[in-house]
Amino acid sequence: GNFSPPPATNANIEMRDDGINIKKGTFGGGSGGTAVLDDTDFSVNTILKQLESIQQGTPKNIVILGTRHCSLLHQQIIELLSYALVLSDNHLFTSGATGTHAAAIRGALRANNQDLLTVILPQTIQRQPREIRELLGQVHNIIELGHSELPLDAASRICNSELLAKGDQLIVFAFHDSKTLRETIEEAKALSLLVTVLFLD
């Protein structure tokens, strides 16, 4: 019939015990219609929810992990989020590599509080891409796990476990087929961390 999609602000967001599950691009098709969110709507809703939760409660140890492959817009959002987290006295933990982690490091550095940023690398600074090595040159707290003999995905799994051991909350930016990140999400839930997963696809 005359189905008109709901406004974009009603993005399909489920509040659950383990965080906010945001299904991008699917909501309310009463007659089989589906309204599709564009990136901006998805991102603004998402970031507002996160910023709202940041402002409530005591500072936490927050781990940000995610894909290397994210758009400039998503990188800017991650940077804004990590900037806000450190400004609100949360301690941010992340890893190396381009994409999500580099954006998180840039945002945290902008907040000018080095004590609240820790970067844990699966291998060594030398094994990081050149632009990341330059970024890491500005970070005071770096832990190099040195698993250079392992394939990167295996080293990353160990690194993610080390990060989770230090965190109260995990924020993940992932695609639905990110196998290593999906495993990390399950591990974080098993450790009773508050988990927020933001899927980019």
Q: Per-residue pLDDT for 114 more than 70?
A: yes
pLDDT tens readout for residues 24-65: 333 333 333 333 334 444 456 666 666 676 666 788 999 999
pLDDT tens readout for residues 136-168: 999 999 999 999 999 988 999 999 999 999 999
Q: What is the pTM of this model?
A: 0.75
93: three-class secondary structure by DSSP: strand
44-67 b/e with 16+ CB inside 10 Å = b? ebbbebbeebbeeeeebbbbbbbb
Mean pLDDT of 77-87: 93
Tell me what the pLDDT averaged over the chain comes to: 80
